[in-house]
């Protein structure tokens, strides 16, 4: 099974390097992405919205004529992965949400935040030239299974995220419950919309006892779970 690896907010393909290397060693083809607006801190992101990122992934699938793939979305990019699978069920065999937000038609990622926090994040985006500010080292390290050195390595490479992508609504053609999906829980277990999907027969849940960046804090364990997805849902 091929894997399309979509990084969460503030990150690029580089964050998947340990996981991608191990998956390739197991015989999988791997396609890590850097989404629009996340290569260059100084780029104009006024035209980059949530659907821009969906189109980024669709282009990879179509240009490579990829089929029977697992699309993996981490954190923010759960919204992207879920919409890609919704748009191209003929190409996506399985969706993997890694401690991720879920797409719901007409709702944005920030729409899942409590109102005071949402308003504060929108204010920060407006004051930061339309980009969502990346976390600092202390926030990245706190409770997430990263050493200070790992957190510093992560934050130094992060790019402030295009703000429209987290404030614009998702567009879904079918209920999310109809997707064949695996949700890997690290820190989001108490999210109501994630918990609701536990009742869906086409969804599986797996747990990693680590923080929000398992591709850094627990890459071997994450690879093992993705390999299990491939063995259970890949083409014979």
pLDDT, one tens digit per residue, over 2-56 is: 999 999 999 999 999 999 999 999 999 999 999 999 998 888 999 999 999 999 9
Instruction: Quote the pTM value.
Output: 0.95
User: Number of folded domains in the chain?
Assistant: 1
Q: Is the pLDDT of residue 213 over 80?
A: yes
User: How many secondary structure helices (H) and strands (E) does the chain include?
Assistant: 10, 8
pLDDT of residue 189: 63
Predicted confidence at residue 123, as pLDDT, reads 96
pLDDT in tens, 151-188: 999 999 999 999 999 999 999 999 999 999 999 999 86
Q: Given a cut of 60, is residue 236 above it in pLDDT?
A: no
Q: What is the pLDDT of residue 67?
A: 94
Please report, for residues 24, 111, 169, 175, the alpha-carbon distance to residue 114 in angstroms, rounded to integers and kept in the order given.
40, 8, 16, 24
pLDDT digits (tens, 9 = 90+) for 199-211: 999 999 999 999 9
Pairing label, strands 30-32, 131-132: unpaired
Contact 11, 40 (CB under 8 A): no
Residue position matching structure tokens 């989001």? 188
CATH number at residue 21: 3.40.50.1820
Range of the domain at 201: 2-233
pLDDT digits (tens, 9 = 90+) for 99-152: 999 999 999 999 989 999 999 999 999 999 999 999 999 888 877 888 889 999
Task: Please check whether residue 99 is in contact with residue 185, taking contact to mean a CB–CB distance below 8 angstroms.
Answer: yes
């Amino acid at each position: 099974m091929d894997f399309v690896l979509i990084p969460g907010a503030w990150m690029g393909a580089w964050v998947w390097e340990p996981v991608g290397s191990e998956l390739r060693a197991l015989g999988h083809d791997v396609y890590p992405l850097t989404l629009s607006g996340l290569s260059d801190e100084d780029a104009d992101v006024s035209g980059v919205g949530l659907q821009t990122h969906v189109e980024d992934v669709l282009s990879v699938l179509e240009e490579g004529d990829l089929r029977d793939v697992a699309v993996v979305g981490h954190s923010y990019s759960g919204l992207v992965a879920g919409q890609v699978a919704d748009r191209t069920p003929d190409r996506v065999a399985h969706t993997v949400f890694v401690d991720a937000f879920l797409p719901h038609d007409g709702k944005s990622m920030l729409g899942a935040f409590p109102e005071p926090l949402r308003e504060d994040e929108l204010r920060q985006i407006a004051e930061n030239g339309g980009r969502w500010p990346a976390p600092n080292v202390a926030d990245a390290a706190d409770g997430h299974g990263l050493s200070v050195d790992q957190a510093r390595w992560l934050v130094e490479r992060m790019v402030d995220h295009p703000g429209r992508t987290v404030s614009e609504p998702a567009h879904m053609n079918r209920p999310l419950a109809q997707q064949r999906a695996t949700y890997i829980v690290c820190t989001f277990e108490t999210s109501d919309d994630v918990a609701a999907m536990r009742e869906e027969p086409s969804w599986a849940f797996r747990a990693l006892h680590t923080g929000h960046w398992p591709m850094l804090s627990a890459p071997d364990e994450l690879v093992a779970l993705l390999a299990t997805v491939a063995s259970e849902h890949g083409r014979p």
